[in-house]
Amino acid sequence: MASLIESRGLLANQARFVLECCAEATNRAASKRGPLAVLTATFHAGRRLLVLFVVFAFVGYFLNGLIPAHWIPTLFGGGKVYSVPLAATMALPFYINTEASLPLVRALLDGGMSQGAALAFLITGAGTSFGALAGALTVARWRVVGLVVATLWVGAICFGFAYDGLLAAGLP
């Protein structure tokens, strides 16, 4: 797919590389280091992750109480052809990061979501979260990022269906 798009010239000039002097970049990076920089960064990142984890744990279990119990197996249960694509599509706007989304997925699994749909949600969300897209957009333009998102979405659906098929066959 990517080679076809590239052969048509649709990916031309899509990189966002800015060249700067190597010595200047090295000096700026060295000036930002300090003896407690690693500990400080770890503390701040851990605090943010803990807050996100607690918030999404609350949201996940709140959804279990708010959403009628029969909706989750109806929408995301095994044997439904639309459950895996729906879960992969839901991941595009609702996935924040793995640590924050695991409680939400656990609550949905407890409510009756199929494991293939959960897998599709986690695969799609990991590559299409706001942080991942912001990072990708610093390197590439929208066409390349759109191709990556489409590839992740289709791949996640394929893996979700394959995993549900393996479970139905009793292999894992």
Where do runs of H (alpha helix) occur along the chain? 2-7, 22-32, 37-66, 71-76, 83-94, 98-111, 115-128, 130-139, 142-169
pLDDT value of position 22: 52
- Tens digits of pLDDT across the chain (172 residues): 667 776 777 777 776 555 555 555 555 554 556 667 778 888 887 888 788 778 777 776 776 677 777 777 888 887 788 999 999 998 887 777 777 788 888 888 888 899 999 999 999 988 888 778 888 888 888 888 899 999 999 999 999 999 999 998 988 6
pLDDT value of position 152: 92
Going from N- to C-terminal start, the domains of the chain cover 2-169
pLDDT value of position 17: 55
CB 49 within 8 A of CB 103: no
